[in-house]
Amino acid sequence: MVCRIDAGNKMSRGFTLIELLVVMVIIASLLAIAVPRYFHSLDHSKEVVLLQDLAVMRDALDQYFEDRGRYPETLVQLSEDRYIRKVPVDPITKSADTWTVTNRDTEGLSGIYDVHSGAEGLSSDGTPFAEF
């Protein structure tokens, strides 16, 4: 946008302060709409990754039990015996050491038979992460 001010013989070009403020208000309004949606999608993607990691580890625990007739003593043992490549990082806590394991000490069987997230807090649907 060109603004011409006639001050004698001089011609000046540029934006007025009002025009710049209007553009800044429009940009701020668009950001106010987009940023919350962006962060919501990030949180949702972390929950989806968490559910997938738990499903993969639980499947590996079941395969380990079917192959060996016992449960592994640690999650690292699953990766050492090549049932998973490595223990995944919990996307909520950003650590591979925060998984909460459930041990089975009945019927002559011992070892890890289930795994949950060690993250505190609630998911987007109100379920605690520890119940995933």
The model's pLDDT over 67-121, given as tens digits with 9 standing for 90+, comes to 999 999 999 999 999 999 999 999 999 999 999 999 987 777 789 999 999 999 9
Q: How far apart are CA 68 and CA 78, in angstroms?
A: 12
pLDDT given for residue 128 in this prediction: 94
Exposed, middle or buried, 56 (CB in 10 Å: 0-12/13-18/19+)? middle
The per-residue pLDDT for range 8-38, each reduced to its tens digit, is: 555 667 889 999 999 999 999 999 999 989 9
Q: How far apart are CA 80 and CA 82, in angstroms?
A: 5
d(CA 92, CA 123): 10
Task: For 63, list phi and psi in degrees, rounded to 5.
Answer: -65, -40
DSSP bridge partners of 95: 90
Query: What SS3 class is residue 70?
Result: coil
Tell me which of 4 and 59 has the higher pLDDT: 59
Identify the sign of the CA torsion 76, 55, 62, 129: positive
Q: Residue 69 CA to chain centroid, in angstroms? A: 34
